[in-house]
Structure 1
Amino acid sequence: MNKRCQQDVAAWVREYRLGLRRYFSSRVNLSDVDDMVQEVFAHLHLQIKKSGADIKNPRSYIYTIAGNLLVSHGRYQKSRCRASHDSLSWELDIPDVITPERRVIGIQDCHRVRQAILRLPPRAGAAFKFHRFEGMTYQDIAERMGISKESVKELIQRALVRVRKAMDEVP
């Protein structure tokens, strides 16, 4: 890239930087604005360096790049579901100490779950144990038990309902 082109790009940065910041500020997260502006000028620099073309209407060219980056940015954000992510809070209420009372409650809960699993009907119990304890897929369980995959899904669903119900019962 010759010296004149470098001077042109530097002049365009001074002239269009604030306008691009306003353009992006209303369309993306404020933490991304400066990165987007920088990306526009990096792309512009690369295009001039690669093609060596003389740009007749820099404003139009720059805002076309900005629009294309905005579309790409939107696609990226959508694919990452960024809007639905929550930040982790380090102020979670996690008890520091396991008290004797909590230990007894845990033992009782484990006993109720075990009893609920043991009381499941034979086929539902087998499907549940294969899936939860042996890590088998529905397809593997279906082949092993000689039933359809949908039947396995239904058996496991029934087993889960019974186990949850047993957990909700007061001892």
Structure 2
Amino acid sequence: MNVEIIMIQNCNVEYLYNEHNTWLKNWLHTKLSCSYQAADLAQDTFVRVLMRRDELNIYQLRKPQAYLRVIAKGLLIDHFRRKDVERTFLEALSALPQPESISPEAQKILLETIQHIDCALDRLPTPVRKAFLLSQLEGATYQEIADLMNISTRTVKRYMQKGFSQCLLALA
């Protein structure tokens, strides 16, 4: 196995790009089955490397492809999550009666807002997110959530405050 060591401070991201961009695009293409999306996500991966260059300048990369794969996997997860939110949103829109349909511009704004809220909620600790979603999507009462999660209603209220705060921050 070829172990390539790259010093981020001395090497350049340009070298990393030149040596591994084709491999990364091919790897992403196997996950996405779309060369255009693969190229976009590969580019986004290198943008992330550039953004982290200062943090990484003291580290050595023993396996640059593994490092790039970790970053690209995170971007893939975000990509699939956005697609899932978009699909769910469009399904809900298609179920609306025609007079209640929304203009394409309003759809785009609403979809972007939903995606911001989704990302904000994803940053919450799992129990907080679970309680918030049980309340907002399932219509569960605070007492039902407390019983289900084996926590106090006071804790549920705290979780709900955190959830609403995250949503407000996402919309700001």
Shorter-normalised TM-score: what interval?
0.3 to 0.5
Structure of greater relative contact order (alpha carbons < 8 Å, 6+ residues apart): 2
Higher Cα Rg, which structure: 1
Q: TM-score, normalised by structure 2?
A: 0.41
Q: TM-score, normalised by structure 1?
A: 0.42
